[in-house]
Amino acid sequence: MTPPSAPGLAMPVASQGRAASITAALRAAVLALDRRTTELALHVGCLLLAVICGLGMWQVVTRFVLSQPSVWTEEAMRRLLIWCVMLGVVVAFRRGALVSVDLMLRVSRGWWRHTVRSLITLVSLAFLAALLWFGIELTWRVRFQTFASMDLSMAWAYAALPAGAALSVLAVLAQHIDPMNEELENAQ
C-alpha cells in the first residue's frame, strides 16, 4: 500500500511521462544546436587563424621584400585574433578542455560530484552573462569609432565578446547535460 501524499505534491503518472519527454526533447534540442554551433565556431576559428597567418606573411613580405610596410595588416590581425580566441573558448567550454583547478572534481563522487559540477556550471554562466552584458554595452559604445588604419567600426572587433559569450552559454549548458572532460581525461 502506498502512503498518502499531500494534495498538490504528487504528480500523476501521465504528467510525469510528459514532463520527462519534454525534458528529453529539450536536452536533445540543446545538444543538437550546440553540436552545430560548436562545429561552426571551430571551423570559423581555424579559418581565422589561417587568415591571420596569411596576413602575417603578407606583412613580412611588404616590409622586408617590397620595403613598403602594409599599414592595415597588423591591426587586422589583432582584431581577428580576438574573434579567433572567443570562438576557441566556445569549443574549449564544450569539450571541458579549459585549464582548471580540478582537484575537487577529481576527488568527489556521487551527489557531491553533481553539486560541484552544478556549481562550476553556475559560476561559468554568471561569468558569461557578465561578459555578454558588458560586451554588448562596450560594442554599442564604440560603434562610431573606427580603426586607425581602416575605415571600419571598432564595433566589429568588440562584437566578438558578446558573440563568443552567447555561444559559450550554449556550450556550457551542453557540457552540463552531456559532459566531455578532455582536461580531466588528458591530465597526468
The band of 185, judged by pLDDT with boundaries at 50, 70 and 90, is low
CB 89 within 8 A of CB 163: no
pLDDT of residue 1: 46
Q: How many angstroms from the chain centroid is the CA of residue 130?
A: 13
Q: How many whole angstroms separate alpha carbon 52 and alpha carbon 163?
A: 20
Residue 16 has pLDDT above 90, yes or no: no
pLDDT of residue 7: 52
Q: At CA 127, angle to CA 121 and CA 128, rounded to 5?
A: 85
Residue type at 78? R
The band of 177, judged by pLDDT with boundaries at 50, 70 and 90, is very high
Q: How many whole angstroms separate alpha carbon 23 and alpha carbon 16?
A: 10
Q: What is the mean pLDDT of residues 152-178?
A: 94
Residue 157 has pLDDT above 80, yes or no: yes
Q: What is the mean pLDDT of residues 33-46?
A: 96
Between the CA atoms of 73, 58, 85 and 145, what dihedral angle is there, to the nearest 10 degrees?
10
58, 94, 142, 152, 162 from 147: Cα distances, Å = 19, 33, 10, 6, 19
Q: What is the mean pLDDT of residues 147-175?
A: 92
The band of 12, judged by pLDDT with boundaries at 50, 70 and 90, is low
Segment 62-72, tens digit of pLDDT: 999 998 988 88
Task: Supply the angle between the helices 160-177 and 73-95 in degrees, to the nearest 10.
Answer: 20
DSSP code string of 94-150: HHT-S----HHHHH--HHHHHHHHHHHHHHHHHHHHHHHHHHHHHHHHTTT-B-SSS
Residue 92 has pLDDT above 50, yes or no: yes
Q: How many whole angstroms separate alpha carbon 56 and alpha carbon 62?
A: 10
Q: What percent of the chain shows pLDDT beyond 70?
A: 87
Residue 44 has pLDDT above 70, yes or no: yes
Q: Is 16 left (phi over 0), alpha (psi -120 to 50) or beta?
A: alpha
Q: Model pTM?
A: 0.81
Residue 178 has pLDDT above 70, yes or no: yes
Domain boundaries, the chain: 20-186
Q: What is the mean pLDDT of residues 30-51?
A: 95
Q: Which residue has the higher pLDDT, 97 or 1?
A: 97
Other beta carbons less than 10 A from residue 180's beta carbon: 13
